[in-house]
Amino acid sequence: MGTIALILVVVFALLLVMDVPIAVAIALSTFVAILAEGSSPSVVVAANMVSGVNSFALLAIPFFILSGHLMGRGGMASRLIDFAGTLVGFFPGGLAYVNTLTCMLFGSISGSAAAAVSSVGGFMIPEMNRKGYNREFNVAVTTTAATTGLLIPPSNIMIVYSVAAGSVSIAAMFMAGVLPGLVTGLFIMLVCGAFAIKNKYPREPRSSFKEILVSFKRAFLSLFLIIIVIGGILAGVFTATEAAAIAVVYALLLSVVFYREIKISELPDLLLQTGITTAVVMLLIGASSGMSWIMTMANIPQTVSATLLGMSENPIIILLTINVLLLCVGTFMDMTPAVLIFTPIFLPVVERLGMHPVHFGIMMIANLCIGLCTPPVGTCLFIGCGVGKTTIAKVTKYMLPFFVSMVLALLVITYVPATSLWLPVQTKQLKAEDVQQSTFMRGDQE
């Protein structure tokens, strides 16, 4: 079985080096490994691809993608920017805080980091440039802050993790991401404050209570989407999948009827974009299901688990090792395939340590969010540089402090389980006794 694992890894690595699309690389390497194992690769790959996408929970993904497209083009970003400006604009370097807070709000509403970079960055980066902020700093703020929207619900990647992990509740994942998202945003804001003091960036005029109220009223309908989705799930009115469909209807009414930012004639193009994105995600999920099957046959999860647990009995060291590995993975691989491939490998390890699967899922997502800001994959970084009309080489210097802040936030999320588990317990998405049974939670490892 060791030979099969070696074939799988080598072929997959070679295909990635040859710049083969990730979904194709996963499927082809799986095909070759299954052929070496002696089974019929055509039948096994096809069967696993079909079973991999045959999940009701995955139906939420195209709906959330469509609602994200509608929000990105529907005029919500400008209203959220105005609201954030009245709240934090008066601090030194106020526009950097406005940028960060708006990315957090818009990213959580749309569920897309890329949409947050393009929509918020398209307005905030030129505005910050005009006010005398450094262009590369502006891009760095937008790029890193946009990733917080993947932690604050609703989030497609949480749905993918729930499916990959098996029996993890999507609602529990949604609630678990709120505090980690806020913690990450706070660490990013601390870096913004340090830059603002050092470079003496200007502050905006303090808003009166009336101005705050007016901007809140303008943004209320956009913010209300979070209440509908999360409140409905917590109240048991509808499932996460049904919530995604409701989000589409609400975003459509808001963008087309109330804000009138999207014309009826533009909807076919939005539907086409949604279909293309959904097809890519589903192909990744299907191909990764086949890879998970052959990895199980080759005993890769068990081998990795035994190796990591053999390195040290200290859970702090093991989790640090896993985080370092995931940081390297996130640099070269997009979030969806990374979650699908490495969840079956690392989840058994952390469960042996007594770590709750929900906690691990948030840790993994927070880790891989950093990869969205690093080349060569770095989707958010490339979009940010395009919007800001600058280069990665120039932005890198300003990105480094933000990387440090995100890694520090990741360490808090990793080693303070309550950051992820407290809110799901309080909202009854997790049973308190299940969390208390976690030996990692109590820190009494043997």
What pLDDT digit, counting tens, does each position of 408-433 carry? 999 999 999 999 999 999 988 888 87
Residue 189, C-beta contacts closer than 8 angstroms, at least 6 positions apart: 96, 97, 100, 101
Whole-angstrom Cα distance, residue 118 to residue 273?
15
Q: Under the phi-then-psi rule, with left for phi > 0, alpha for psi from -120 to 50, and beta for the rest, what region is 262?
A: beta
Q: Which pLDDT does position 232 carry in this prediction?
A: 87
Average pLDDT value for residue range 307-322: 86
The CA distances from residue 83 to 78, 88, 96, in Å, are 9, 9, 14
Q: What is the pLDDT confidence band of residue 368, given thresholds at 50, 70 and 90?
A: very high
Average pLDDT value for residue range 380-400: 89
The length of the chain is: 446
- The answer to whether 66 and 274 have CB atoms below 8 angstroms apart is yes
Residue predicted with more confidence, 435 or 402: 402
Q: Which pLDDT does position 410 carry in this prediction?
A: 96
Asked if residue 446 has pLDDT above 70, the reply is: no
Asked if residue 182 has pLDDT above 90, the reply is: yes
Mean pLDDT of the chain: 86
Q: Which pLDDT does position 439 carry in this prediction?
A: 63
Whole-angstrom Cα distance, residue 314 to residue 319?
9
Q: Which pLDDT does position 440 carry in this prediction?
A: 66
Q: Which pLDDT does position 445 carry in this prediction?
A: 41
Whole-angstrom Cα distance, residue 359 to residue 330?
19
Please report, to the nearest 10 degrees, the dihedral formed by the alpha carbons of residues 7, 11, 13, 18 taken in order. 170
- The answer to whether 311 and 317 have CB atoms below 8 angstroms apart is yes
Whole-angstrom Cα distance, residue 218 to residue 83?
8
What pLDDT digit, counting tens, does each position of 112-144 carry? 788 788 888 888 898 888 888 999 999 999 999
Q: Where in the chain are the domains?
A: 2-442
Q: What is the pLDDT confidence band of residue 319, given thresholds at 50, 70 and 90?
A: very high
Q: What is the pLDDT confidence band of residue 183, given thresholds at 50, 70 and 90?
A: very high
Whole-angstrom Cα distance, residue 82 to residue 442?
43
Whole-angstrom Cα distance, residue 115 to residue 121?
9
> Judging by beta carbons within 10 Å of its beta carbon (0-12, 13-18, 19+), is residue 176 exposed, middle or buried?
buried
What pLDDT digit, counting tens, does each position of 286-304 carry? 888 888 888 888 888 888 8
Q: Which pLDDT does position 161 carry in this prediction?
A: 93
Average pLDDT value for residue range 204-225: 88
Q: What is the pLDDT confidence band of residue 375, given thresholds at 50, 70 and 90?
A: confident
396 closest CA partner among 144, 115, 122: 144
* pTM, full prediction: 0.87
Whole-angstrom Cα distance, residue 105 to residue 331?
25
Tokens in use for 8? Answer: 């799988």
Q: Which pLDDT does position 176 carry in this prediction?
A: 93
The CA distances from residue 2 to 160, 222, 295, in Å, are 29, 53, 10
What pLDDT digit, counting tens, does each position of 42-101 carry? 888 888 888 888 878 788 888 888 888 888 787 777 888 888 888 888 888 888 998 898
Q: Which residue in the block uniquely carries the two structure tokens 């807070």?
A: 101
Average pLDDT value for residue range 166-170: 84
- The answer to whether 241 and 59 have CB atoms below 8 angstroms apart is yes
Whole-angstrom Cα distance, residue 315 to residue 446?
10
- The answer to whether 333 and 377 have CB atoms below 8 angstroms apart is yes
Coil, strand, or helix at residue 93?
coil
